[in-house]
Amino acid sequence: MATNETEMASREIITKAVVARGSRLSQTTHQIATPHAPSSILGCWVINHTFVSHKAGDEVEVKGAYDIDVWYSYDDNTKTEVAKETVQYVERIPLSFLDSEIIGDAFEVRTRVTEAPNAVEAKVHGAGAQVVVEKAFSTEVIGETKLCVYVAPSCGEVDDEEEKDDGFDDGEIIIEDLR
């Protein structure tokens, strides 16, 4: 502890904290097979997105899947149909480490979607459709780390002999009439 009132002691505390962060925006081009040669693309949706993530070295690996639904016309724009395809993906998010005092190798990874998978372009391509999907993730890695904190020598300490006055009379109950 401190030798006098002006000196402050320090302590090392082990706690959980965000030790690394990362984010990634990506665009992926998919070829969607259609039962008929499309005349034109009428609409495109990306739905049913699911994913899991884990730390892999100096990156977070995100594995996921989504459904792409392409509404298209065929037979010289006289008929329509919806082609559906489930697409799986793997994204790697590079990490920026915030802490050099990481303890152990047990980490919690929190990844959130900052931009849901969305079709930014859909067009006829050969005998099928070509769809460009954009998505974005943000991730944090939480681990145990060591912090150094300064301890004030008299931070609210009370001597046993001298009780701190909190402004209340012990044992006295005051009930006011609130009418």
In this prediction, residue 1 has a pLDDT band, given cuts at 50, 70 and 90, of very low
Kindly list the domain boundaries of the chain, sorted by start residue: 16-151
Instruction: Check if the beta carbon of residue 88 is closer than 8 Å to that of residue 64.
Output: yes
Looking at residue 31, its pLDDT comes to: 97
C-alpha–C-alpha distance, residues 161 and 21, integer Å:
50
Query: Can you read off the two tokens belonging to residue 95?
Result: 């990490």
Those residues whose C-beta lies under 8 Å from the C-beta of residue 68, and which sit 6 or more positions away, are 30, 32, 44, 45, 46, 84, 85, 86, 87, 119, 131, 133
The string of pLDDT tens digits covering residues 132-153 is 999 999 999 999 988 888 887 6
Please state the three-class secondary structure of 54-106 as a single string: EEECCEEEEEEEEEEEEEEEECCCCEEEEEEEEEEEEEEEECEECCCCEEEEE
Query: Can you read off the two tokens belonging to residue 115?
Result: 């931009």
C-alpha–C-alpha distance, residues 33 and 85, integer Å:
8
Residue (of 82, 86, 83) closest to 66 by Cα position: 86
The string of pLDDT tens digits covering residues 69-122 is 999 999 999 999 999 999 999 999 999 987 777 888 889 999 999 999 999 999
In this prediction, residue 164 has a pLDDT band, given cuts at 50, 70 and 90, of low
C-alpha–C-alpha distance, residues 60 and 98, integer Å:
15
Looking at residue 171, its pLDDT comes to: 55
What's the predicted TM-score (pTM) here? 0.74
Residue (of 49, 64, 52, 51) closest to 118 by Cα position: 49
Question: Would you say residue 63 has pLDDT above 90?
Answer: yes
